[in-house]
Amino acid sequence: MSNNNKKWFSLNLGRKEKVSSGSCSCGKTSGGCGTSSNSHHMTDDEFAAAAINASIGEERTKDGFEQVFDVKMDRRTAFKKLTASLLIGAGAVSTSCSVISGDESREKSQIDWEEQFKGNYKLMTDEEKQATVDRLVRSYQLRTGKTLSMSSKNAEEDVLFGYAFNISKCQGYMDCVNACVEENNQDRDSQMQYIRIHEMKDGKGFNFNEADDNYYHEVPAEGHFYMGTQCFHCDNPPCVEVCPVQATWREDDGLVVVDYDWCVGCRYCMAACPYDGRRFNWSKPEVPEAEINHNQHYLGNRMRKKGVMEKCTFCVQRSRAGKNPACVEACPTGARIFGNLLDPNSTIRWVLENKKVFRLKEDLGTEPKFWYFMD
């Protein structure tokens, strides 16, 4: 919250905009930055700075509200003013800064309030991104007592992610699907899966109409071949164009991502996607506490809520950390290849240059970054 030129509307309710000199470097005003468990303990220097801030710091930054209410006064005036303020702001007071509730619940509601009225992640500065991630981490800590790590890492320069799928190698084991669900904390109740494996009959070509994307038998089945689809991270994504609130966009490294907190759930993007790449949380997503992947990214596998869109992000939490997506790592046959299209020495570049590659529905002009090839 150290940056004041925000690009959205925010209510300054019971929140004190302190100069962040004395507080933690992450820019949070309350609770501590949360990424480390020792955030509650201040060093002596910090304590001194905070003490000075508390005594005289606010004099410098007081706004009109505080100038009226935050002054020393006798009991009678205090009661008078308190009554007035209670009458004026009873509703707001009870939600975000109730004097009855404890510190933790107050912090919780403070976080909830700020999260409800925060802006679009796409338009945030790096500090604002960090602040919302810190709030989410802290909120999780307050609710479950456990810590998680959440990244807000931006796209790196000279990186453009691409994916290739070897149809000759895929045997339909669906290890990729399971790895994806576990990695990305998808709703277990509705069995949401980003990846679909289509089982096709030999000799019929790529006949999706007769393919089965929901099989329950031993694989590889005689006389069949397999082909996986997921979000193709188009360079010209129709889903991004149609979103009324820019809750989904293409990052500089080519990933098409969703801000789950900004999405209004109209599902226009779902209708616009020609590749069945998007999934919707029709009810509250449930993941058993023990199965939650705590290594998260804001744009990736953090916990979603009901009524928002989600999709494959090429495992942004892994790919931006220099790792392969979970599906690539899990594939036992080596059918999946992932890498940086701008790196001439990458495997994906070798595949594109040496194999006869093709993409699905190229006539639609969406420019997918997902190629198929055969040995």
Partner 1 sequence: MKRLKVFGSLVKDSLDTITHGSKRYHLWMALLTFVMLVGMYCYSIQLEHGLSVTGMTDRVSWGLYISNFTFLVGVAAAAVMLVMPTYVLKDIDFKQAVLIGEGLAVAALIMCLAFVVADMGGPSVLWHMIPGIGVFNFPNSMLTWDVLVLNGYLFLNITIPFYILFRHYQGKEAKSSVYIPGAILSVFWAVAIHLVTAFLYQGLQARPFWNNALLGPRFLASAFAAGPALIILVLAIIRNFTEFKIQDKTIKKIAMVVTVAAQINLIMLISELFKEFYAPTHHSESAYYLFFGLDGKDALLPWIWTAIPLNVLATVLLTFHKLRNNFKVLFFCCFILFIAIWIEKGFGLIVPGFIPGPYGKIAEYTPTGIEIGVTLGIWALGAFVFTILAKTAIGIELGKLKYNKKA
Between residue 272 and residue 301, which ones bind partner 1 under the rule CB under 8 A? Answer: 272-276, 278-284
Nearer to partner 1, 34 or 277 (CB): 277
CB of 228 to partner 1, least distance (A): 11
What SS3 state is found at 201? strand
CB contact at 8 A, 346 and 340: yes
**Dihedrals phi, psi of 327, to nearest 5 degrees:** -65, -40
Question: Could you check whether the bond before residue 220 is cis, i.e. omega within 30 degrees of 0?
Answer: yes
Q: Taking CB under 8 A as the rule, does residue 263 contact partner 1?
A: yes
Q: Which residues pair with 52 in a beta bridge?
A: none
Nearer to partner 1, 26 or 256 (CB): 256
- Using the rule CB under 8 A, which residue among 52, 54, 90, 271 binds partner 1? 271
Nearer to partner 1, 3 or 283 (CB): 283
Question: How far is Cα 68 from Cα 65, in angstroms, rounded to an integer?
Answer: 5
CB of 68 to partner 1, least distance (A): 27
Which positions ≥6 away from 319 have C-beta within 8 Å? 161, 255, 325, 338
Contacting range for partner 1; rule: CB under 8 A; set: 11-19, 328-336, 340-348, 364-372: 364-372
CB of 364 to partner 1, least distance (A): 5
Residue-wise DSSP of 124-170: --HHHHHHHHHHHHHHHHHHHS---EEE-PPPPTT--EEEEEETTT-
Structure tokens that stand for 310 in this block: 């989600």
Nearer to partner 1, 26 or 177 (CB): 177
Q: How far are the Cα atoms of 63, 138, 182, 294, 313 from residue 290, in angstroms, in the given order?
A: 46, 19, 11, 10, 23
CB atoms near residue 297 (< 10 Å):
22
Q: Taking CB under 8 A as the rule, does residue 267 contact partner 1?
A: yes
As a residue count, the chain comes to: 375
Q: Taking CB under 8 A as the rule, does residue 365 contact partner 1?
A: yes
CB atoms near residue 82 (< 10 Å):
12
Between residue 1 and residue 30, which ones bind partner 1 under the rule CB under 8 A? Answer: 8-9
Question: How far is Cα 362 from Cα 359, in angstroms, rounded to an integer?
Answer: 6
CB atoms near residue 279 (< 10 Å):
19
Q: Taking CB under 8 A as the rule, does residue 307 contact partner 1?
A: yes
CB of 121 to partner 1, least distance (A): 11
What is the distance of C-alpha 185 from the center of its chain? Answer: 11
Q: Taking CB under 8 A as the rule, does residue 91 contact partner 1?
A: no
Q: Taking CB under 8 A as the rule, does residue 265 contact partner 1?
A: yes
Between residue 167 and residue 206, which ones bind partner 1 under the rule CB under 8 A? Answer: 190, 192, 196, 198
Q: Which residues pair with 201 in a beta bridge?
A: 224
Nearer to partner 1, 9 or 375 (CB): 9
Nearer to partner 1, 284 or 323 (CB): 284
Contacting range for partner 1; rule: CB under 8 A; set: 63-71, 217-225, 327-335, 363-371: 363-371
Between residue 120 and residue 149, which ones bind partner 1 under the rule CB under 8 A? Answer: 120, 123
Residues 49-88, mask of contacts with partner 1 (x by CB under 8 A): ----------------------------------------
Residues making contact with partner 1 (CB under 8 A): 8-9, 116, 119-120, 123, 190, 192, 196, 198, 208-211, 213, 229, 238, 241-247, 261-268, 270-276, 278-284, 305-309, 364-366
